[in-house]
Amino acid sequence: MSVTDKGCKNPAKKPAQLPAHLLMSLRDAHIHDTETAQIQEKLQQRTCSQMQSYLQLCLIRLRKMHISGNGYVEQLNAQQQRDEFTQVLTARVQHVRD
């Protein structure tokens, strides 16, 4: 018996199984095993594409937060510079008055 006769024995290569209730429903509907394999493949593709879409949306949101965060940091830096300038002017005015 060759390796191809025995089938794949590597559990890492084994695809995820459909839930038991879904398999029972497919068998009750007289769906053949080849069609079940196609259904399983389509469900995996759909799940992968949904996860990819979700991750892309997360990335977009993180980028927006990063951009708005950078704007906030720039505002804080500008405010700090204005405060420092105001303190210098106040010190000069106090010096002139004295």
pTM of the full structure: 0.43
Which band of pLDDT confidence, cut at 50, 70 and 90, is reported for residue 85?
very high
In this prediction, residue 30 carries a pLDDT of 79
Tokens standing for residue 17? 């199984």
- The set of residues, in sequence order, having a beta carbon less than 8 Å from that of 8 and lying 6+ positions away, is 14
What mean pLDDT comes out for the span 68-72?
Answer: 76
Q: How far apart are CA 77 and CA 88, in angstroms?
A: 17
Which pLDDT tens digit goes with each residue over 2-53? 344 444 444 444 556 777 887 788 888 877 777 878 888 888 888 888 999 9
> Which pLDDT band holds residue 83 (cuts at 50, 70, 90)?
very high
- Mention every residue, 6+ apart, whose C-beta is less than 8 A from residue 15: 40, 41, 44
Distance from C-alpha of 91 to C-alpha of 16, rounded to nearest angstrom: 73
Helix axes 20-28, 33-97, angle to 10 degrees: 140
DSSP 15: P
